[in-house]
Amino acid sequence: MKPVLNAALVGYGFAGRVFHAPLIAHTPGLALHTVVSGRAAAVRADHPQARVVAQPQAAFADPAIDLVVIATPNPSHAPLALEALRAGRHVVVDKPFAVSLAEAGAVVAAAERAGRMVSVFHNRRWDTDFLTLRGLLDAGALGEIVELQSHFDRFRPEVPDRWRERPGPGAGLWFDLGPHLVDQALQLFGMPETVQADLAAMRDGAGVDDWFQATLRWPRRRALLHASTLCAAGSLRLAAHGTGGSFVKHGLDPQEARLRAGVVPGSPGWDERPEPGELVRTAGEGLRREPVASVPGDYRAYYAGIRAAILGQAAPPVTAVQALEVMRVLEAGLESARTGAAVRPGPG
């Protein structure tokens, strides 16, 4: 068994620098061997042990590389993944998987032909709020869930000058935060019968959607997914209502803020428990409110799972099938927003 697997990170923008590089570097059994970036000085300042190359082909061709992680603008995800797979590398793609279901399907087919793993970085499965909710559902604490409200709201009134804010394939908030909320809903409840989505550009100067609300429908359940860039007072993260009670959680998982601040994953305080949520259940003729301790989140669990999958010890933490299912819902949401009608997710 190879004791340490070498990863090549393609892209050192926000996703590569804040999320992937520190998580890879501090996951036991993985090493950040190579970074593909034109910002060599920035990479060396943060990760002096890593080799820096300007072109991804240099990393793909290196026999020392076991895993390629793609953290580039969305339109390049599928082309780079295909190239890395042809070179015989295992591949992790930052969300969204691709800019279309067809592109994502082509990547999965290429991985099957190459006999290599492909996975998508749906790291929000390891958020404290989601882990806490999932534990309550597994324990049956809420009975049968009939409604889930899932919010990812922020206040960013100025439109930044960056690629995801400019019109083009894969741009906008639905393809930025939508994959997180969709993946979590699918993990809890499976594929919905229909998707109805409303996408809008709310800020002055916005060229793409910066607000969305989507309803995923099952026969006796609804999941309401919402994200906004103009929500200064918003703090609700999750509200799950069931036949046995409700669970409410406010505030976002703290891991992103810690990573932005340069906190090293796994260092003291990394897994400090956030504020508890609240469980509301019947008590006689009234209601009983009780705090629910938050399960600590840790995004390194994703990369630990990737290492285990490459070594043949487990299935990938996010499988190709699961990644395609998220793309099916994202595309259905685009079609629904265009037509105004509820749309059945297409075949994977």
**CA 118 centroid distance within chain:** 15
> Is 310 contained in some domain?
no
Q: Which residue type does 203 have?
A: R
Boundary of a domain, candidates 78, 106, 121: 121
Would you state the pLDDT for residue 234? 76
Angle at 242 between CA 290 and CA 220, to 5 degrees: 170
Which residues, other chains included, contact 198 with Cβ-Cβ below 8 Å and sequence gap of 6+? 212, 213, 214, 337
Closest by CA position to 327, among listed 101, 133, 59, 58:
101
Do 103 and 50 lie in one domain? The reply is: yes
> Which of 89, 121, 153 is where one domain is finished?
121
User: What's the domain count of the chain?
Assistant: 2
pLDDT of residue 282: 62
Are residues 181 and 283 both part of a single domain?
Answer: yes
DSSP state of 210: -
277 domain-assigned:
yes
CATH number (domain holding residue 21) = 3.40.50.720
Distances (CA, A) of 348 to 175, 208, 315: 18, 26, 19
Q: Are residues 95 and 158 in the same domain?
A: no
Q: Torsion angle, CA of 333/335/340/345, rounded to 10 degrees?
A: -60
**138 plus 213 within the same structural domain:** yes
Q: Are residues 148 and 216 in the same domain?
A: yes
Q: How many CB atoms lie within 10 A of CB 197?
A: 25
Domain boundary among 121, 151, 176: 121
With H, G, I as helix, E, B as strand and everything else as coil, classify residue 197: strand
Cβ 250 vs Cβ 271: under 8 Å: no
Do residue 148 and residue 265 come from a single domain?
yes
Q: Burial, 257: exposed, middle or buried (Cβ in 10 Å; 0-12, 13-18, 19+)?
A: exposed
pTM, rounded to two decimals: 0.94
Tell whether 183 and 260 lie within a shared domain: yes
Edge-to-edge strand order for the sheet containing 145-153? 194-200, 211-218, 221-228, 145-153, 236-242, 245-250, 277-283, 286-292
Q: What is the DSSP string of 61-103?
A: T-TT--EEEE-S-GGGHHHHHHHHHHTT-EEEEESSS-SSHHH
What distance in Å separates the CA atoms of residue 130 and residue 204, rounded to the nearest whole number?
33
Give the model's pLDDT for residue 163: 86
pLDDT at 1 (0 to 100):
57
The answer on 112 and 71 residing in a single domain is yes
CA angle 254, 329, 117 (to 5 degrees): 75
pLDDT in tens for each of the 348 residues of the chain? Answer: 578 999 999 999 999 999 999 999 999 999 999 999 999 999 999 999 999 999 999 999 999 999 999 999 999 999 999 999 999 999 999 999 999 999 999 999 999 999 999 999 999 999 999 999 999 999 999 999 999 999 999 999 999 988 888 999 999 999 999 999 999 999 999 999 999 999 999 999 999 999 999 999 999 999 999 999 999 987 899 999 999 999 999 988 999 999 999 999 989 878 776 778 888 876 566 678 888 888 889 999 999 999 999 999 999 999 999 999 999 999 999 999 999 999 999 876
- Asked if residue 136 and residue 162 are part of one domain, the reply reads yes
- My answer on whether omega of the bond before 96 falls inside 30° of 0, hence cis, is yes
Separation between Cα atoms, residue 128 and residue 204, nearest integer Å? 34
36: domain range?
5-121
Q: Is residue 308 part of a domain?
A: no
- Backbone conformation region of residue 336, classed left if phi is above 0, alpha if psi is from -120 to 50, else beta: alpha
Q: Exposed e or buried b for every residue in 291-313, given b needs 16+ CB within 10 A?
A: ebebbbbbbbbbbbbbbebbeee
Closest CA to 74 of 9, 161, 171, 3: 171
